[in-house]
Amino acid sequence: MKISFIIGTRPELIKVAPVIAAVRKSNINFDVVNTAQHKDLLDPYWSTFAIEPTHVLDVMVPGQSLASLTARALSQIQAYLDNVPERPSVILAQGDTTTVMAASMVSFYNNIKFAHLEAGLRSFDFENPFPEEYNRRIASISAQYHFCPTHISKANLERERVDKDKIYVVGNTVVDSLLSISKPESFVSSSWKNSDLEKLKKFTDSVLVTCHRRENQGPNLRSIIEAISNLAKENPEIAFVWTMHPNPKVRQVVLDSELSEFNNIILVKPLEYIDILKLLKVSICAISDSGGIQEEAPSFKTPVIVMRETTERPEGVDAGVAFLVGSDKSRIRDKFNQLVRTPIDFGINPYGDGNASQIIIEILRES
Q: Which residues are catalytic?
A: 96, 118, 132, 212, 214, 245
Contacts of 260 (CB under 8 A, 6+ apart): 267
What distances in angstroms separate CA 212 from CA 136, 251, 288, one per listed residue? 19, 9, 9
Residue 196, burial from CB neighbour count under 10 angstroms (0-12, 13-18, 19+) = middle
What is the rounded distance in angstroms from the CA atom of residue 328 to the CA atom of residue 308? 9
Contacts of 193 (CB under 8 A, 6+ apart): 271, 272, 274, 275
Beta partners for residue 267, in sequence order: 242
The answer to whether the Cα torsion of 108, 166, 23, 43 is positive or negative is positive
Q: What are phi and psi of 211, to 5 degrees?
A: -155, 125
Distance, first Cα to last Cα, the chain: 10
What is the rounded distance in angstroms from the CA atom of residue 263 to the CA atom of residue 257? 14
Beta partners for residue 268, in sequence order: 243
Contacts of 71 (CB under 8 A, 6+ apart): none
